[in-house]
Chain A
Amino acid sequence: MKAENPRQIGARVQRFEDTRLLSGAARYIDDIRLPNTLHLSFVRAQVAHGRILEIDTFGLEDIGYPTWVFTGEDIGNLSMKAHQDYPEMQYSEQPLLARDVVRFVGEPVAAVLAEDPYRAEDAAELVFVDYDPLPVVGTMDQARDASIPPIFEGWKNSMFVERQMKGGDLEAARAQAAHVIRRTYRNQRQAGVPMECRGVVAHYTPGDRMLTVWSSTQMPHLVRTYIAEELDLPEARIRVIAPDVGGGFGIKGQVFGEEVLVAWLAIKTGRPVKWIEDRREHLVASLHARDHEHTLEAYVSDDGRLLGLWADISVDVGAYSTFPFTAAGDPGMAAKVMPGPYDFQAYEATFRGFATNKCPIGTYRGVARPSAVFSQERLMDDIAREIGMDPIAFRLRNVIREFPYKNVLGFTYDPGSYAESLEKIRDVLADDIAAAEASKSSATTRTGVGIACFVEQTAHGTPDFTRRRVPIETGYISARVEMQPDGTVVIGLGLQSHGQGLETTMAQVAADALGVLPETIFVRHGDTLTSPYSMGTWGSRGGPLGGGAVHMASMQIAEKLKVLAAHEMQADKDAITLYGGRAYVTDNPDRFVEIRTLARHALRNVENLPEGMIPGLEAEFSLDGPRDGTYANAVHAAVVEIDVPTGKMKLKRFVVVEDCGTILNPLVVDGQVRGGVVQGIGSALFEHFVYDAECQPLTTSFADYLMPQAPEIPDIEVHHIETPTPLTPLGAKGLGEGGAIGPAAAIANAVSNALDVEVSETPLKASAIWHLSAHLRGEA
């Protein structure tokens, strides 16, 4: 009999953190309660664009309790800066509290502190700000209009940036094309909506000259670095802690002005300062997403081959560039990923980000890819329709099949399962496709099937960020693994887990390497004092890179355990297997030593260590991503039923075929996919942040800003294909965002199929569906 290690990676391990999260034992930002705390309430801009004439705090003089007020005058030149190092970039800077000019409704103008949060809110209401209104840049059309002044002085137009990406010979593609198909597609502006809003608590203790900042963030180290640079403090004396974080979705993957301001206020007042964002603040002034408009022109041969693609990409980025992904993040990402999973070698894209008087845009699950895939996959259907091909057959003709594949922009795709995924979905949907066809005879009830096929670049390494010249600069993730004298393990993880299940999956990874049970591994994260420097959790990289770093560090400890075990059992190191908490002689499992005994020897009774072995069982590993990342792929499919007379649509079925390489934990993968799909359904059908012509927000609560809810969500079927990548230690590809990328395209394609009409924008609310189906009611 041989000793073999039963694999934890790939096992359906229930999430360890759920005990805490589901039993009320979790501690979120509002649970951080320090004595003597001052509570912060913001006075926020009520006009979209205006010059501040006066801030009147007279009402606070006889309010009857102590208050502290700070305005832009008090904070010096503290600000948020997020520049890309390109000469074309026009710079914006957002003061932590507006100085002189406000540029969107909700921008912080004054900070009001009181000893009770109710009183802080009452006091903030008594601060009156007088504005001289300035012309509003409210839409992308207005931003294009040279007669409307840009919102920043000295700008030559209303664009943060306009650049190009190209590859291959587009003129030749155009000349060869039998079909030229040009369309414009739009996605609406959204808010990203984690269940827990943001919040910051800061406390400065002069005894150890330590500034401690608790923030509901995905990137504690970057918050620390930004605060240190902006406030000119030594980074060694700042500790940033992300407590339990109730969802982030990329929204909390930025450094915000409030994080710097609350830290500054704590130092300034000498007391703990706490700010808990409410839902209205979150919807209006935290961070928005999407708001894309793409015009695409495809060149197609007469046998249905895509020869080339021209793209013009505009994004309404709002009033300021956000840190660290900048105002160019969304438009640049859309241009970069537009070629998708298809084999063509001529492409030219122009992309730009417009500055308008709206809440800034930043990263939200999928980051431009939901919009790029919406356009790309709507276009694929519109082309198929125009040239008379079946949409799946048309994709199968054009999809990349041989790997590695160097795409038109020079990015190398590692192996995936694009064609297999399409074939799989075609099998799964066969009955629905037939039923949709049959429903074409009905003028009142139509069903439709739509798919979206896409790749997602994940776990990209440092070169990808330096190419973009964004302030994030680097793409590695670090982990430190320490075995304790009793054989239990602590992992200090540079990632921050806000729903990903990292406390479980990372334990599974280390357990495999160390031959111990995952339950004996404690994963610590989200605290700069206990975790090695890292970029935080975003960009679908926790599994491949965080898991890879944990694996590599754990393997170093495993190696040392094997040397020690070999020494103690007088066996060969390479003949040792670690599993179940023991080190076995592989070919003779009767001979073993407990790992906890080895750990005690390595850490406590070090007198018997082999000659030259250094005490300790600790290793740290920083893993950078591959140059071009690793490409996960998926096909999403939606089946819809539309009641033509009322426009009421029912999402009958949603199917995902996904390939994220090695699956670390199928339960976690399925949960990630389903959660993402639900958010994608929100983008497709409900979520719309609406401004009026003066850029006053109209959807400022959940009464108007509609989130997808359980009755609207069908059972989401998930099928897996596993194509491990050679580019990461475990073969894993990123997965966290993929679920949100496909639904808008798949659902819009299903509507298009059902109604036999082109669909060019989201959200597809009942009103929109009703207007799209006018021809079936004989009204158009």
Chain B
Amino acid sequence: MRPSAFDYHKASTLDQALALLAEFGDDGRPLAGGQSLVPMMNLRLARPRHLVDINALPLDAIEIRGDALHIGALVRHERYFTDPLIAEHFPAFLEAVHWIGHPTIRRHGTMGGSVSHADPTAELPSVCVLHDALIVAASASGERRIPATEFFLNAYVTALEPGEMVTAVEFPLPSGPTSGAFMELGERVGDFAIAGIGVVLGHDGNTITSARIVCSGARLVPVRSADVEAFLVGRTLADPGAQEAGRIFSAAIDPVGDHAASAAYRKGLIKELTRRCIAHAAGKASA
């Protein structure tokens, strides 16, 4: 469990990092918190010939830019706990952070690293899909914004091209009052989720005016459900139909079954967590 040989490069500017990544192409990987990449290198599941350390780059802002919350690629997970903008605008996001790994992982792990790694059970990719976030990808030839729903292609596979790296994620600010919740279940505290559900409810008074729901862990990428979202819109916070929503979401997903959890169990969990998550979000909004 020792990595194969690699060269280490410390980038001091974004341009320098992008130039190095352009030069190395498929053989290069940016190194941020290293919480997934380094173990994978030790297991020789990842064998980059060149690591470009981006930790010195100024990519750690959490700030409102225009009508979106900009989160830099190097923002460490633990910062969300205390950031007022997250608490104010993205309650489901804030709840999701509690489920990310362990304190050490939250101290080192980054937004850019988590979305680039694209673990199907991870919280932040799911949070990005839930909020229709845009992934900002930069390369030596420029910058592009990729909708989260198009960014995650498969387990551990993203739309990033060789030479490209994530520099930020932009979360559109909600236009009216919203509530949100995120719940997941793992075998132990901090484990990969067997299934996780996130929900965001926009409301006008007691009426639900918009709804978004996402499921992680069940498929190879985070899954939204237009049926559940349509079902919820127009219902009330007092009676959001959480149980029926759970039934719909569960029926619509054909989850993976493996030695850790059966497909039937994942289906059952989706149903129950959807119910609880909607009830919790609706409850918070009407409180």
Point out residues on A near B: beta carbons under 8 Å: 117-118, 121-122, 125, 278-280, 645-648, 686, 688, 690, 698-699, 701, 703-704, 706, 708-709, 711-712, 765-767, 770-771
Can you name 17 extra interface pairs (CB under 8 A) apart from A699-B259, A767-B261? A122-B5, A280-B43, A645-B268, A646-B268, A647-B269, A648-B185, A686-B188, A698-B259, A706-B191, A709-B189, A711-B189, A711-B190, A712-B188, A765-B260, A766-B265, A767-B194, A767-B262
A770 touches B5 (CB 8 A): no
Known: A647-B265, A690-B259. A709 touches B188 (CB 8 A): yes
- CB contacts (< 8 Å) of A690 on chain B: these are 259
Q: Look across to chain A and name the residue whose beta carbon is closest to the beta carbon of B272.
A: A645
A706 touches B1 (CB 8 A): no
With beta carbons under 8 angstroms apart, the residue of B1, B190, B192, B261 that contacts A766 is B261
- CB contacts (< 8 Å) of B273 on chain A: these are 646
Q: Look across to chain B and name the residue whose beta carbon is closest to the beta carbon of A712.
A: B188
Known: A647-B265, A698-B259. A766 touches B189 (CB 8 A): no
Known: A280-B1, A646-B273. A766 touches B194 (CB 8 A): yes
- What are 28 A-B contacts defined by CB distance under 8 Å? A121-B2, A122-B5, A125-B44, A279-B1, A645-B268, A645-B272, A646-B185, A648-B185, A688-B259, A690-B259, A698-B259, A701-B39, A704-B260, A706-B188, A708-B188, A711-B190, A712-B188, A765-B260, A766-B185, A766-B194, A766-B261, A766-B265, A767-B260, A767-B261, A767-B265, A770-B265, A770-B269, A771-B262
Provide the bound-state CA to CA distance between A699 and B187, in Å.
15
Provide the bound-state CA to CA distance between A278 and B272, in Å.
40
Provide the bound-state CA to CA distance between A368 and B272, in Å.
39
Provide the bound-state CA to CA distance between A533 and B261, in Å.
49
Residues 43-87 of chain B, each 1 if its beta carbon lies under 8 Å from chain A, else 0? 110000000000000000000000000000000000000000000
Tell me, yes or no, whether B4 is within 8 Å of chain A by CB.
yes
Provide the bound-state CA to CA distance between A647 and B192, in Å.
16
Provide the bound-state CA to CA distance between A269 and B259, in Å.
44
Q: Look across to chain A and name the residue whose beta carbon is closest to the beta carbon of B246.
A: A645
Q: Which of B2-47 contact A (CB under 8 A)?
A: 2, 4-5, 39, 43-44
Q: Look across to chain A and name the residue whose beta carbon is closest to the beta carbon of B273.
A: A646
A703 touches B262 (CB 8 A): no
Provide the bound-state CA to CA distance between A36 and B198, in Å.
57
Distance of A754 from chain B, by nearest CB (Å): 18
Known: A117-B2, A122-B4. A701 touches B188 (CB 8 A): no
Q: Look across to chain A and name the residue whose beta carbon is closest to the beta carbon of B257.
A: A767
- CB contacts (< 8 Å) of B262 on chain A: these are 767, 771
With beta carbons under 8 angstroms apart, the residue of B2, B188, B194, B264 that contacts A711 is B188
- CB contacts (< 8 Å) of B260 on chain A: these are 704, 765, 767
The list of the 5 closest CB pairs from A to B, nearest first, reads A711-B189, A278-B1, A767-B261, A767-B265, A645-B272
Distance of B47 from chain A, by nearest CB (Å): 10
Q: Which of B103-122 contact A (CB under 8 A)?
A: none
- CB contacts (< 8 Å) of B268 on chain A: these are 645-647, 770
Distance of A498 from chain B, by nearest CB (Å): 23
Q: Look across to chain B and name the residue whose beta carbon is closest to the beta carbon of A701.
A: B43
Count chain B residues whose beta carbon lies closer than 8 angstroms to a beta carbon of A. Answer: 25
Provide the bound-state CA to CA distance between A645 and B276, in Å.
10
Residues 157-192 of chain B, each 1 if its beta carbon lies under 8 Å from chain A, else 0? 000000000000000000000000000010111111
Point out residues on B near A: beta carbons under 8 Å: 1-2, 4-5, 39, 43-44, 185, 187-192, 194, 259-262, 264-265, 268-269, 272-273
With beta carbons under 8 angstroms apart, the residue of A280, A703, A708 that contacts B192 is A703
Chain B, interface SS category: loop
- CB contacts (< 8 Å) of B261 on chain A: these are 765-767
- CB contacts (< 8 Å) of A703 on chain B: these are 192
Distance of A66 from chain B, by nearest CB (Å): 17
A117, A703, A766, most chain B CB atoms within 10 A: A766
Provide the bound-state CA to CA distance between A701 and B273, in Å.
28
Provide the bound-state CA to CA distance between A703 and B45, in Å.
14
B259 touches A706 (CB 8 A): no
With beta carbons under 8 angstroms apart, the residue of A278, A699, A712 that contacts B189 is A712
Provide the bound-state CA to CA distance between A709 and B5, in Å.
33
Known: A121-B2, A767-B194. A706 touches B187 (CB 8 A): yes
- CB contacts (< 8 Å) of A698 on chain B: these are 259
- CB contacts (< 8 Å) of A645 on chain B: these are 268, 272
Distance of A642 from chain B, by nearest CB (Å): 13
Known: A278-B1, A765-B260. A686 touches B187 (CB 8 A): yes
Provide the bound-state CA to CA distance between A704 and B43, in Å.
14
Provide the bound-state CA to CA distance between A118 and B3, in Å.
8
Q: Look across to chain B and name the residue whose beta carbon is closest to the beta carbon of A699.
A: B259
Provide the bound-state CA to CA distance between A765 and B191, in Å.
13
A118, A647, A688, most chain B CB atoms within 10 A: A647
Q: Look across to chain B and name the residue whose beta carbon is closest to the beta carbon of A685.
A: B187
Distance of B127 from chain A, by nearest CB (Å): 21
Distance of B154 from chain A, by nearest CB (Å): 19
Distance of A195 from chain B, by nearest CB (Å): 15
Provide the bound-state CA to CA distance between A117 and B44, in Å.
15
Q: Look across to chain A and name the residue whose beta carbon is closest to the beta carbon of B269.
A: A646
Q: Look across to chain B and name the residue whose beta carbon is closest to the beta carbon of A703.
A: B192
Provide the bound-state CA to CA distance between A671 and B229, in Å.
53
Q: Look across to chain A and name the residue whose beta carbon is closest to the beta carbon of B258.
A: A698
Provide the bound-state CA to CA distance between A681 and B190, in Å.
18
With beta carbons under 8 angstroms apart, the residue of A117, A122, A765, A771 that contacts B187 is A765
- CB contacts (< 8 Å) of A765 on chain B: these are 187, 260-261
- CB contacts (< 8 Å) of A706 on chain B: these are 187-188, 191
Distance of A584 from chain B, by nearest CB (Å): 56
- CB contacts (< 8 Å) of B188 on chain A: these are 686, 706, 708-709, 711-712
Provide the bound-state CA to CA distance between A646 and B43, in Å.
33
Provide the bound-state CA to CA distance between A709 and B191, in Å.
11
Q: Look across to chain B and name the residue whose beta carbon is closest to the beta carbon of A708.
A: B188
- CB contacts (< 8 Å) of B264 on chain A: these are 771
B5, B188, B194, B273, most chain A CB atoms within 10 A: B188
- CB contacts (< 8 Å) of A708 on chain B: these are 188
A118 touches B272 (CB 8 A): no
Known: A688-B259, A767-B260, A767-B265. A118 touches B2 (CB 8 A): yes
- CB contacts (< 8 Å) of B2 on chain A: these are 117-118, 121, 278
Provide the bound-state CA to CA distance between A698 and B269, in Å.
24
- CB contacts (< 8 Å) of A121 on chain B: these are 2
Q: Look across to chain B and name the residue whose beta carbon is closest to the beta carbon of A688.
A: B259
A704, A767, A771, most chain B CB atoms within 10 A: A767
- CB contacts (< 8 Å) of A699 on chain B: these are 259
Provide the bound-state CA to CA distance between A118 and B272, in Å.
48
A646 touches B189 (CB 8 A): no
Provide the bound-state CA to CA distance between A300 and B154, in Å.
58
- CB contacts (< 8 Å) of A648 on chain B: these are 185
Provide the bound-state CA to CA distance between A547 and B260, in Å.
44
Distance of A86 from chain B, by nearest CB (Å): 36
A278, A646, A704, A765, most chain B CB atoms within 10 A: A646
- CB contacts (< 8 Å) of A279 on chain B: these are 1
Provide the bound-state CA to CA distance between A771 and B265, in Å.
7
Provide the bound-state CA to CA distance between A567 and B272, in Å.
84
Provide the bound-state CA to CA distance between A118 and B259, in Å.
33
Distance of B161 from chain A, by nearest CB (Å): 28
A118 touches B187 (CB 8 A): no
Provide the bound-state CA to CA distance between A703 and B264, in Å.
22
- CB contacts (< 8 Å) of B185 on chain A: these are 646, 648, 766
Q: Look across to chain B and name the residue whose beta carbon is closest to the beta carbon of A707.
A: B188
Distance of A525 from chain B, by nearest CB (Å): 30
Provide the bound-state CA to CA distance between A278 and B2, in Å.
9
Distance of B192 from chain A, by nearest CB (Å): 7
Q: Look across to chain A and name the residue whose beta carbon is closest to the beta carbon of B261.
A: A767
- CB contacts (< 8 Å) of B39 on chain A: these are 701
- CB contacts (< 8 Å) of B5 on chain A: these are 118, 122
B2, B44, B190, most chain A CB atoms within 10 A: B2
Distance of A64 from chain B, by nearest CB (Å): 11
Q: Look across to chain B and name the residue whose beta carbon is closest to the beta carbon of A648.
A: B185
Provide the bound-state CA to CA distance between A125 and B260, in Å.
30
